[in-house]
Amino acid sequence: MQLTRAADYAVRVMVHLAGLPSGSRVSRGDLSTAADCPEQFLAKVLQSLTRAGLVISHRGNTGGFELDPFHRMASVLDIVEAIEGPIRLNICLNGDHACSRQDWCPAHCVWAEAQTAMIEVLRKATIDSLARRAELARPPEHSLVGERPWN
């Protein structure tokens, strides 16, 4: 299973927003630059994040997008599932009778274990911790869009 480009962009956007001061609003254009994502494509990603309640959308002259303060600790799993829906490595993991072979298939337990491990990794990774890690790893010439320069 490979996650879509939209999920990757969504995580980039959320990490960028988490790196800004609480309550900061960023335009779609600035988020497009920060996420290195075409603006029209990003519009769909932001729509999904807003619908999931992870991002707040504001209209008008002072509009833009901001991270919902309650979702600063959102996990990568929360974001991926907001874009992709529930993650399943194999069809046999969709439900009790999704595959006629799952009761006796020797690979079923491997798929289930792999999915459990992947979900746990994605659940542990919070947007806040990724934003802090990004701040430490970012070269000085790559400041955040909307970030105030040092005086």
* Nearest residue to 46 via CA among 25, 62, 61: 25
Q: Is the pLDDT of residue 114 over 70?
A: yes
CA distance 109 to 92: 10
Q: Is the pLDDT of residue 42 over 80?
A: yes
Q: Which residue has the higher pLDDT, 101 or 30?
A: 30
Band the pLDDT of 144: cuts 50, 70, 90: low
Give the number of other Cβ atoms within 10 Å of residue 146's Cβ: 18
| Number of structural domains found in the chain | 1
Residue 110 in domain: no
Residue 90 in domain: no
Band the pLDDT of 105: cuts 50, 70, 90: confident
Cα 59 → chain centroid = 22
Parent domain of 21:
5-85+126-137
CA distance 112 to 88: 9
- Per-residue model confidence (pLDDT) at position 150: 39
Asked whether the whole model's pTM tops 0.75, one would answer yes
Residue 92 in domain: no
Residue 29 in domain: yes
Q: Name the 3-class secondary structure at 35.
A: helix
